[in-house]
Amino acid sequence: MKAIDFKNALIAMQERMVQERDYLCELDRQLGDGDHGVTMVIGWKAIGKQVVELTNETDISVICKEVAMTFLNAVGSSVGPLYATGFLQAGKGLKGVEELSLTDVKSFWIAFSEGIEYRGGAKIGDKTMVDTLAPLAAFLRDSEKDFDMDGALAAAREGMELTKQMHSNVGRSSRLGDRSVGAIDPGAASAFFLFETFCESIRALEKV
């Protein structure tokens, strides 16, 4: 995955957030103020605009840093610092890298997930995006393959779907108590959609 391919994946992730906006807002209406889809679209549209301005940038760590700051500046809610930290953490090990190997992709998503978990302080079972990302990262850490895409997707999807059975333990939705059970966490859903779209971008490259 060359730098241009990485940027194209980010654009595809932006488009996925636009597609899923209403669904994510509906999930959030069951748990919060119903704006998660709108928030993610605002942040990812800002990323898309920034990526266009990085036409000549080939250092993926620099792209990650720019994306992180762009998302943070565009999104005022708590999700802003989380995704910014994820991208910053993921980019740390990619200084000077202009083409991602599958091993690099694996390291990227492990670091991205760990960054978000560290920044937010949530754990598996709290009904947050961590329930998608932590199982994804754990699977990749344990996998002997360079990047077991199908296995990682399955782990992420299972984590997301399990949030439907959970009580919310953090944020505004924690005040709902038993009423928070029965709905997929919107943050877990958006994190899964983003990872799934990134994987789809890799699959498209493999077919070329």
88-109 pLDDT, tens per residue?
A: 999 999 999 999 999 999 999 9
Of 76 and 39, which is predicted with more confidence?
39
- Per-residue pLDDT band at 181 (split at 50, 70, 90): confident
Q: Which residues of 78-102 are buried (b: 16+ CB within 10 A; e: fewer)?
A: ebbbbbbbbbbbbbeebeebeebee
Do residues 153 and 139 make contact, with C-beta atoms less than 8 angstroms apart? no
Give the per-residue pLDDT at 31: 77
Give the per-residue pLDDT at 202: 95
Spatial distance between the Cα atoms of 109 and 113, rounded to a whole number of angstroms: 6
pTM of the model: 0.92
Give the per-residue pLDDT at 131: 96
Which range, of 34-38, 130-134, 175-179, 202-206, averages the lowest pLDDT?
A: 175-179
**Beta bridge partners of residue 2, listed in sequence order:** 99
Do residues 180 and 166 make contact, with C-beta atoms less than 8 angstroms apart? yes
Give the per-residue pLDDT at 204: 93
Q: Across the chain, what does the average pLDDT equal?
A: 91
118-176 residue pLDDT tens: 988 889 998 999 999 999 999 999 999 999 999 999 999 999 999 988 866 565 555 55
- Per-residue pLDDT band at 30 (split at 50, 70, 90): confident
Give the per-residue pLDDT at 183: 87
Alpha helices in 30-129 (DSSP H): 36-53, 60-74, 79-92, 102-120
